[in-house]
Amino acid sequence: MKIEQTNDLPESDSRHHAMNLSKALKDLADHARDDTTKVQDAGGRVLLDTTAETLSGLAVAHEHFASGGESSAIERLRLTRLMRVLATRAPAATILVRFLAGAVFLSEGIQKLIFPMELGFGRFALLDLPSPALMATFVGWTEIVCGTLLLVGFLTRLAAIPLTADIIVAIQKTKVPLLAQEGFWKTVHEARTDWCMLTACLFLLIVGAGSISIDHRTTRVT
């Protein structure tokens, strides 16, 4: 592919090549977007749309490098990676899953702090967890902060990671022993909320916050 010359900088200057590549990448991104409207299968549209977004991100990185030097380009690449984490194509109805998980985790986190003996360090001590007072406070605040992030749809995928780990530990500490003591059906009954929270967190980790979210608005603006 022949790259169009778009500037008068000498070829020994890296900005010369960055500006040329930025223009070529933008053209390719526009071409991919145009092709998206021509295909009918959903898989092809997703592939072309993703290609266009990736090429646009690379074009912007090259453009910033040419205008602001290496440090600006690196910063932009970091921002692009964050945008990929925030990006979501999930439908608006995803807000229901966010509210389901976020409300439960927020409520449970608050209760760990206001009812320490029943749900906080007292319970953690009974489960033989290390440093139960410190652990209960840490888990409580993690559930409060990350649950709130799920509710508002901000940094949703990142918030889902510690909550997934949280619920896995809860299942391992409370439901696995119950399986050995009470059997399968009793465990399934008692673990119904845990499984709902685990699958909700995994779902949000995969698809993101959905179109009604700060994440979606941020990536659209950017």
Distances (CA, A) of 24 to 56, 83, 168: 10, 22, 47
Q: What is the pLDDT of residues 87-132, one digit of tens each?
A: 888 899 999 999 999 999 999 999 999 999 999 889 899 888 888 8
Q: How far apart are the first and last CA of the chain?
A: 29
- Tell me, what's the pLDDT at 50? 78
Closest C-alpha among 30, 31, 48 to residue 39: 48
Per-residue model confidence as pLDDT tens digits over 21-61? 878 888 888 888 888 788 777 777 777 777 877 877 777 77
The amino acid at 82? L
Determine what percent of the chain is predicted with pLDDT higher than 70. 84
pLDDT at residue 45, rounded to an integer: 73
Domain residue spans of the chain? 14-86, 94-221
Q: In a 3-state reduction of DSSP, which class is residue 50?
A: helix
Token pair belonging to 35: 């092709």
For residue 84, the model assigns a pLDDT of 74
CB 153 within 8 A of CB 210: yes
153, burial (CB in 10 Å: exposed 0-12, middle 13-18, buried 19+): buried
Compute the distance between CA of residue 115 and CA of residue 209 in angstroms, rounded to an integer.
31
DSSP per residue, 173-206: IIIHHHHHHH-HHHHHHHTHHHHHHHHHHHHHHH
Give the number of other CB atoms < 10 A from CB of residue 134: 12
The pTM of this model reads: 0.63
Asked whether the predicted pLDDT for residue 2 surpasses 70, the reply is no
Q: Could you give the CA distance from residue 55 to residue 24 in angstroms, rounded to a whole number? A: 9
Task: Note the pLDDT tens digit of each residue in 146-193.
Answer: 999 999 999 999 999 999 999 999 999 889 988 989 999 999 998 999
If you write DSSP's letter for every residue of 123-163 in order, what string do you get? HHHHTT-SSHHHHHHHHHHHHHHHHHHHHHTSSHHHHHHHH
